[in-house]
Structure 1
Amino acid sequence: MLRYLIDLANAITMVGLLCSSIALYFALAGHIELAVGAALWAVLADHLDGAVARRARNRPPDMAKMGKSLDGFADIIYGAVLPAIILVQLNGASVVSFFVATALLLAGAIRLSYFANFGKSDDGRFFGVPLSYDIPLMAALILVQPLMPSGTFLLAVNTVFALLCVAHVASVRVPSPNRAMYLAITLFAVTASTILVQRGMI
Structure 2
Amino acid sequence: MELVFIRHGQGEHTLDSPYSLHISDPALTKEGIIQAKTLRKQFPLSQTDVIIISPSRRTLQTVKFWSEGIECRKIVSPLVSPRMFPQKSNGKTLLCDKLFSKEQIKDEFSDCEIEENISNIYWSNGINTVSEQEFKVIAEKFLKWCKQTCKNRIYVVSHDGTITSYRQFISGKKLSRNDFPKETGWIKINY
Q: Structure 2 length normalisation: TM-score? A: 0.32
More helix by share: 1
Instruction: Looking at secondary structure, tell me which structure has more strand per residue.
Output: 2
Max Rg structure: 1
TM-score, normalised to structure 1's length? 0.31
The structure with higher relative contact order (CA 8 Å, sep 6+) is 2
